[in-house]
């Protein structure tokens, strides 16, 4: 196959003074920050769906993307060719990982058997390219939402046959993930929610979703797949309400159904926005529960209000994201996965490089800034100090469960009034963050 990006060579780190749009200004893979290389901290992943299957179509117009390596057909041969183009891109970019949905990499057939056969034929090439380049699969997932059969959902469909189909499709996607040594497997509930409660038995649907995930856990054991399972919160779109609406809802669902030990969360920035939260909020909710697994790094446009999946370039966003990630011990099995797409107007192949380089540099800066804030220690010390009344005396007794209402009443009766409060110093802290940006 001819080169898909003949005019572009391996993207290099040239430092902050470089004016070369095809060079990293901040992402220096081998540079050590807070005890680990940037490569180890950030574990960047390229998504197959937006980057290699995105056409640029929107509800008002057809595709715009120029992708010379793609013959536009739905053939297996074209899908295999596309794999080579994808790996050339990822290799030149220098991202260590990629992610896919089953139906992004291989065309769906007219039966499940045919789809599985197509998938195997393309997976063979994925395996060859992984071997050739050393690029690894961060996670795989099944697209159980695009085909019309999934109109009512997959695991939460009112149609039991559709549930069975989804299970079969997920089974195969897990097998291929395992075969390609994927480090994880993600569940995003594409249409697991409702459009109207008038036709919905919510309790039954949620029980079915839990049953599907329990089957996945059991099958994972059976095939010896050791990768991490993730569930990806999103509040709406395409449905009016998705059951996995945010980190807290996912954690509650997993806990209620005895699934929490088997899952971590894959948190996406634009989904946090749609849920009316910040990314930092979602990361903190997951982190506090020991369930921070991976991130889908993108950003939305707050004036548009849908999942626009833009590349992240906002340094405050990446700084706050990395502050929370470092606080909870860094990314372990997951990665910084660019679930993001170039704009419809950015239709040339080179735009894919600009987009990813910008996202990687923004995260490298966020990492460096967050590490510097942590090293400085003032922020952490402030928070410690703010809670110091819990370190001894009555606070320590409450935390260790040694006292109840009666003892607390006696404590306050003896003092007459609570000790005075101190300022939250929000403005001081915001200024402190700006010192580092
Ligand atoms: C859609 C989701 C999806 C998942 C993978 O909004 O972000 O792309 O990441 O199914
Ligand atoms: Ni996502
Ligand atoms: Ni999304």
- Cα 309 to ligand 3 centroid, rounded to whole Å: 6
Say how far apart CA 24 and CA 14 lie, in whole Å: 6
Say how far apart CA 280 and CA 213 lie, in whole Å: 27
Q: Determine the residue of 169, 231, 269, 296 to mutate for testing ligand 1's pocket, defined as the one with the most ligand atoms within 8 A of the Cβ atom.
A: 296
Is 244 among the catalytic positions? Answer: no
pLDDT the model gives residue 305 = 85
Q: What is the pLDDT of residues 3-43, one digit of tens each?
A: 999 999 999 999 999 999 999 999 999 999 999 999 999 99
Task: Give percent of the chain above pLDDT 90.
Answer: 99
pLDDT the model gives residue 302 = 87
* R_g of the chain computed on alpha carbons: 24
Q: How far is CA 126 from CA 26, 79, 82, 113, 137, in A?
A: 30, 10, 10, 20, 9
Q: What is the pLDDT of residues 52-80, one digit of tens each?
A: 999 999 999 999 999 999 999 999 999 99
Residues with CB under 6 A from ligand 1: 101, 141, 186, 188, 232, 234, 268, 296, 307, 339
Q: How far is CA 421 from CA 209, 388, 390, 399, 408, in A?
A: 46, 12, 13, 19, 18
Average pLDDT over residues 368-396: 98
Tell me the pLDDT of the chain averaged across its residues: 98
Q: Could you tell me the pLDDT band of residue 375, with boundaries at 50, 70 and 90?
A: very high
Q: Which of 307, 328, 318, 346 is nearest to 44 (CA)?
A: 318
Q: Could you tell me the pLDDT band of residue 167, with boundaries at 50, 70 and 90?
A: very high
Average pLDDT over residues 372-376: 98
Q: What is the pLDDT of residues 278-328, one digit of tens each?
A: 999 999 999 999 999 999 999 999 899 899 999 999 999 999 999 999 999
Listed in order, strand segments (DSSP E) in 136-251 are 136-141, 184-187, 193-194, 228-231, 241-242
Average pLDDT over residues 215-237: 98
- Strand-pair category, 193-194 with 241-242: antiparallel
For residues 144 and 102, the answer to whether their CB atoms sit within 8 Å is no
Task: Give me the DSSP letters along 88-130.
Answer: HHHHHHT-SEEEEEHHHHS---SSHHHHHHHHHHHHHHHHHHH
Average pLDDT over residues 230-255: 98
């Amino acid at each position: 196959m001819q080169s898909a990006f003949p005019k572009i060579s391996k993207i290099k780190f040239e430092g902050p003074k470089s004016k070369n749009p095809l060079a990293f200004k901040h992402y220096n893979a081998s540079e050590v920050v807070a005890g680990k290389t940037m490569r180890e901290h950030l574990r960047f992943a390229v998504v197959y769906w937006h980057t290699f299957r995105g056409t640029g179509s929107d509800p008002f117009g057809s595709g715009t993307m120029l992708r010379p390596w793609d013959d536009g057909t739905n053939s297996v041969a074209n899908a295999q060719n596309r794999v080579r183009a994808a790996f050339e891109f990822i290799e030149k970019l220098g991202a260590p990982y990629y992610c896919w949905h089953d139906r992004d990499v291989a065309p769906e057939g007219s039966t499940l058997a045919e789809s599985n056969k197509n998938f195997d034929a393309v997976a063979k090439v994925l395996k060859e390219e992984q071997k050739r380049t050393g690029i690894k699969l961060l996670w795989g997932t099944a697209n159980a939402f695009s085909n019309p059969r999934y109109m009512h959902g997959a695991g939460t469909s009112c149609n039991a046959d559709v549930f069975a189909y989804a299970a079969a499709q997920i089974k195969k996607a897990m097998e291929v993930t395992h075969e390609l040594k994927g480090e994880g497997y993600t569940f995003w509930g594409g249409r697991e929610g409702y459009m109207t409660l008038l036709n919905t038995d919510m309790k039954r649907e949620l029980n079915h979703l839990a049953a599907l995930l329990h089957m996945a856990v059991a099958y994972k054991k059976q095939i010896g797949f050791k990768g991490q399972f993730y569930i990806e919160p999103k509040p709406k779109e395409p449905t009016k309400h998705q059951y996995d609406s945010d980190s807290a809802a996912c954690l509650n669902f997993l806990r209620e159904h005895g699934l929490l030990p088997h899952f971590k969360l894959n948190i996406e920035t634009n989904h946090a926005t749609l849920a009316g939260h910040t990314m930092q909020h979602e990361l903190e909710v997951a982190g506090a529960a020991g369930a921070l697994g991976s991130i889908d790094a993108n950003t939305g446009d707050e004036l548009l209000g849908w999942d626009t999946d833009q590349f992240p370039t906002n340094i405050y966003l990446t700084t706050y994201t990395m502050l929370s990630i470092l606080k909870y011990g860094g990314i372990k099995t997951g990665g910084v996965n660019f679930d993001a797409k170039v704009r419809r107007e950015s239709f040339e192949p080179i735009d894919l490089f600009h987009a990813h380089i910008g996202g990687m540099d923004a995260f490298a800066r966020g990492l460096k800034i967050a590490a510097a804030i942590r090293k400085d220690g003032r922020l952490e010390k402030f928070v410690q100090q703010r809670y110091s009344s819990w370190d001894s005396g009555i606070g320590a007794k409450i935390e260790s469960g040694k006292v109840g209402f009666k003892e607390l009443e006696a404590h306050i009766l003896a003092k007459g009034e609570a000790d005075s409060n101190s300022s939250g110093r929000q403005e001081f802290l915001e200024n402190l963050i700006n010192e580092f940006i």
